[in-house]
Structures are given as C-alpha cells and as structure tokens.
Amino acid sequence: MPRAKKRPSAIGSLLGAALIISMAAQTALGQPPDLQWEKSFGGAGDERGLAIQETRDAGLIATGFTGSKGAGGRDILLIKTDKDGGLEWERTVGGPGRDEGWALVETKEGFVVAGVTDSWGSGKKDLLLVNTDSEGYEKWKKSFGGAGDDWGVALLETKEGFVVAGVTTSSGSGSSDGWIVKTDPDGNGEWEVAIGGSKNDGFNSILETEDGYLLTGTTESYGSGGKDLWIVRTDGNGEKIWEKTFGKGADERGNYILEAGGSLYAVGAAESGSYGGRDLFVVKTGKDGEKVWEGAYGGTGDDGGSSALAAEDGGIIIVGYTRSQRNGDTNLWLLKIDPEGEKVWERTFTGAGFDLGRSVVTTKDGGLAIVGWRRPAGSGSEDLWLLKTEKLQ
C-alpha cells in the first residue's frame, strides 16, 4: 500500500501571504475562471438546485425542489435555460407530500430525474424515478421502497437502463444501508442490492466502470470509528467486490467519486481536518482502492466539497462551500488541486448571505456551470442559484 500523504492545505492561513498565488504561478498552472453570469430562481418558499447537466443544445438543465409552487409541500423542480441562463421553461412534479430531485440525466427523448417522494408509493419516503419528454412534461414515474425510508441520490444511464444509488432503511443489515437499484429503460425494477453493516451506511455518488460500479458515501459500520468516507466497488449486478474506508476517528463523509488521470478521487468533508471545524476532504486512490494520498483543505470555519470533475491536466476541480473566507458567511467555493494534491487555485462566489454550490459540469465553450442555492441577507427563503464561468485558462 502506498504511503498516505497528508497534503498541506494553503488555505489554513487565509489572511496570510500563503494564500497569495504569484502571477507567474498563475500563468504556469492556470487561474480561477471569472464569473460570466448568474441567475436566481425562487418564490415565497425555498428552492434548491441539487444537480445540473449541459444539454445537447448547449443549454442547461437543473433539478432540485421548490416550496413555492406545484402540488403542495415540496415538489421536484426542473429548470431549463439557454446558454446564457435565460429561462426557457420550468416544470414541477409532485403530490401532496415532499418530493425532491437529487440527480438527473439527459436521454435521447428527454430527461430522467431520481430523488425521493412521500407523495406516492409506500407512504414512507421512497426512491422516485421520473421520466419526462424534452420539454419537461412527465411521461412516467416509478417509486421504489419498503416499510422504511428509502431515497435516491445519484443516477446513471446505462446501455440497459438506469442505475440509482442512495440509502435504504427497508432492507439490509443495519439502521440504514447503501442501496443500488437497477431498472430497464422504462423504469421497471430489475434488481436491487443493499450494502452495509450493523449501523448507518449510505451512498452519495456512483461511477460506472467497464465491469460494474464504484460508489462513495459514508459508513458507521466499518472503519476507524464514527463516520468514515466509504468507497465500494461492485460487479455489474451490484454485488460487492471490495470496500475501503478512510478516516481518523472523527467524522469523514464521501459526497462524490470520479476518475481522473487513471486514478480515483473521493471528495467530501472531514471533521478531523487540519484547521479545526469541518474541512473539505479528498482521498486519491488507485483503481484498486489503495490510498495514494489524502488531504484536508479549509480554514477556521466549516468547509466541504459537494461535487467534482476531472481537469485536463489530471487534477480535479471541486465545488462546495466555505465559511473560512471573505465575510465569514457560507460562500460557494471552487477549488482546483493537481494530481499531487497541491492547490492550484481557488475562487469564491458570494453575495451577502448564504451561498452554496452543489453540482458542477464543464460546458461546450470550455467554462463551468454550477448549481446550488443562496439565501440573501435579510431573506427568509432560499433561491435556486445558477452560475456560469468564463472559459478555463
């Protein structure tokens, strides 16, 4: 097993000279992108953006939930914009209860959203899969669950249908377990697998491999104690091949997994970080899950990573949140690290209030699109927040 390296984060002295990247270094390694535009979508209630994709027409599609419109409670929200953030349409899917969209994919005919509902199904929380046409109008919806609470957080489209990862309390070994559900193209269930131990476990992200799936999440059943970041590899039927945990006795969470430069990266948050409070946490492994290095990035406030994407140089770009910079409020945080775990650049996007980034994708023009939510100072409600950056350098 390669020796684990705790990468020092230059973010620990946010007010000091260690944060200043020289112009020469920026020229050599790139620099954070400038904001091209931003848009807020909201009403009298709360709206949050949880997932985003660029569409074939170079527009953007985002999902999350709305408390301002729809059938009642919370409804799944779908927002389609053009490349400049101009609203083309918005749709809601929901019933009298709470319905949320956590992940989405664009298909040949439209869009598929995965999330959670208590408006249909067993009467408890159930995984909800919704298929729409290209204009966002519902074609079908399917719910999956049992006597407990079950929900979907991550979604893949495969050659054979769809795969959803999330959490189940209806089956498995413990209080909650990581859950994988496979359907055919029409949303009919083909198989489901619960993976976990005697305590609370769950998946937050899934990645398809040549012969199966890689997932990350959080486990209390295995590891060093408390909550640990958890990586699981399965075969094509969801059966566990191996699992790895990463933690130091406090709480570590895995929120997203991706492949970059032939390695795996899991991104999340750690209570046992270097600078106090919660830090953004990254673990790099080989394809066998053996740790190459792990690093904590943050300052004196709470910081964390929600989503990430591969950079052209083999590093990764992470979106999340930070309370360690600028005004001390929660700010959307964009951070790039190189393959060795060294910070290349960082950028915050914020107003006066609470601002958080949940999902990030690259766009055809070389920039980034980000979705999350914001709560302006003095406001009692949250708005879905959509941002687009200039081309990456």
φ/ψ of 10, rounded to 5, equals -70, -5
Mean pLDDT estimate for the chain? 90
- For residue 391, the model assigns a pLDDT of 96
Residue 328, number of CB atoms within 10 A of its CB:
11
Please report the DSSP string for 164-175 in residue order: EEEEESSSSSSS
Write down the pTM of the prediction.
Answer: 0.91
pLDDT value of position 179: 98
> What is the structure's pLDDT at 393?
83
Do 53 and 76 meet the contact criterion of CB atoms below 8 Å apart?
Answer: no
Query: 83-92, 215-224, 318-327: lowest mean pLDDT where?
Result: 318-327
Residues 6+ apart with CB under 8 A from 349: 35, 38, 331, 332, 334, 355, 357, 370, 387
Q: What are 57's two structure tokens?
A: 């027409």
Domain 32-389 has CATH 2.60.40.10: no
Considering the chain, what percentage of its residues have pLDDT values greater than 70? Answer: 90
φ, ψ dihedrals at 44, nearest 5°: -75, -25
